[in-house]
Structure 1
Amino acid sequence: MDSKRPVSNTSTDFTQSIEDDPLIDGPLISQDALESAMKKEFQNLPTPWIAGLLAIVNVAYVSLCVVLAVLCWLTDDHLAECKAVLNGVGTQTVVLLGKVALWLLVFVLERCIQRHHNSVRKRGYLQFYRNTRNLKSLPLLIHSSGNAAVLLVIAPSSLLNQKVKNLSIYLLLVVICVEFVMTLICLLIYTARVVRFNNQRPGPDINEEERAHAYAPNASDAHTETGFRDGSCLEEVVEKQADLIEYLKQHNTLLSKRILTLTSQQIRE
């Protein structure tokens, strides 16, 4: 006697499981509402004011050095006034202390800028982060190199002044002015890039890449930057992939929370 074994209908079971799901049984979420709720609002990068503050401080320091050198260092015409204003502190000491204070300020502001850029990287703007990674650190590098150059000038100052009168002072002013010009150029370029980024208000790199791929006439014309090709740096590719994976994990978690929130809101309505 042949026994008929019941044949399980996978499609039916799957349909029944979906119908039993309270989330699926609720009202459907419109695509427009879901996209508007899931789209993360663009946040401006608030670092241009930091770069502007740093530029103003550099201008003030260079102006102070030039005034002290002309009035109190190179000539003795205003020696009494300088001693009274500086309260007996030497002009060279004031310039060097100001140089140290300026370097500390540049270091603190560079760390603050780095913190904002790390936040931008976590929000998915990986290409912008890499394009400005070295630029935002250049002022600190320039000032550190300037400190080394100042030491090279101050250490043999007595020997230099024996050959040419006040040669060490002129060299010190040259170092400070060159340092100022290079720093100002870097700050202007950095500020222009950040302002352009804030004005464009782009989406995360992965969204912009998908949009470009969707509108490309041929799928092969849309290239990504996360794959390895001939001539690519393997370390850079691995870094890009790691950043992209980290962003996608955070993005998926955020989307899941917002989908559940929208679904619960529509069920209550």
Structure 2
Amino acid sequence: MESKGPSLYTAGTSVDLTRSIDEDTLVDGPLISADALQSAIRREFQTVPTHCYAAALSFLHVLYVALSVCVAVLCVLKFGNEEKCVSVMGNVQGDSAIVFGKVCLWVLVLLFTWYVQHHHNRARRRGYLQFYRKTQGLKDLPLLINSTGNVFLLVILVAGLSPTVRIYMLLGILGLELLVALSCLLWYTVKVMRFNRERAAPDVSQEDHLQNYSITSLPTETGFREGSRLEEVVEKQADLIEYLKQHNTLLSKRLLNLTAQH
């Protein structure tokens, strides 16, 4: 029994010495400040350029409604020179031209929605989960509004109304659709411009900062809390895991580059 004591003590001492040597070799490397890493990560911020396309789509929508009113007044209601309408539009009826223009506008809105979804998915993969969720329903509203307007236009066209009543109802639908869609696009543009101007860090970095400097900080949205939906929690955790993988890859590359510089 007495002979085992020194051997165990010697083994434990050798393990401690080996561990301390290994730790010393890790510490001997060049130390990199957290400010350097944080500044390197902040340079990776990428703006969301969709606000420019939202403004362009708003302008095209206003232009389409203005031209539709001109065509309706001059060519359908015949309050102007009919010869100019015939020379410009040929054999195309005024209400048919308005419907064709509405289809082209709907295609533009569809392409805009796809483009916005692409950039918002990229922002979500970069860790901006709150921005993605706050604008998730807003970015789809223009397509929903234009699709609903198309349904009402089809109902008006097949209702068998008189040309005068039909064109007035058609213009009313276009005007109401313009007001609602333009409000959504302007509000979306404000949100995106505010996000680009703030150039904030990803959500995980902001939560870590609040937890480090706030003693009474509230729990984050990552875990499950009473009253929250399980599907929403699972979706948030999946987004967070995906972001952390990419964040670790980026951080490893920055560490290698900064280590090589020192």
TM-score, normalised to structure 2, is: 0.91
- Point out where structure 2 has 5 or more consecutive residues left out of the alignment: none
CA distance in 2, matches of 1:48, 1:39: 22
Paired letter, 1:168: R
Percent sequence identity is 47
For residue 171 of structure 2, what is the aligned residue in structure 1? 173
| Alpha-carbon separation, structure 1, partners of 2:39 and 2:16 | 33
Counterparts of 1:17 and 1:213, CA distance in 2: 32
The code of the aligned residue for 2:242 comes to: E
User: Within 5 A, what are the aligned runs for 1:26-175?
Assistant: 26-75=29-78, 77-156=80-159, 158=160, 160-161=161-162, 166-175=164-173
2:109 counterpart SS class: helix
Deviations 1:221-249, CA, capped at 9 Å, x for gaps: 32211222222111111111110111011
Matched, 1:13 2:18: yes
Give unpaired runs (5+ residues) of structure 1: none
Provide the rounded CA distance (Å) in 1 between the counterparts of 2:218 and 2:258: 34
8 A contact 1:103–1:144 mirrored in 2: yes
Aligned-partner Cα distance in 2 for 1:58–1:34: 45
- Shift, 1:217, TM fit: 3.7
TM-score under structure 1 length normalisation: 0.89
Q: What is the distance in 1 between the residues matched to 2:174 and 2:105?
A: 11
Paired with 2:242 and 2:135, the residues of 1 have a C-alpha distance of: 20
Q: Give the corresponding residue for 1:263.
A: 259
List per-residue Cα deviations over 1:134-154 (Å, max 9, x = no partner). Answer: 101100000011111100000
Inter-partner Cα distance in structure 1 for 2:230 and 2:176: 37
Aligned length: 257
Tell me, yes or no, if structure 1 residue 207 matches structure 2 residue 205. Answer: yes
CA contact (8 A) 1:216 1:222 kept: no
Q: Secondary structure at the match of 2:194?
A: helix
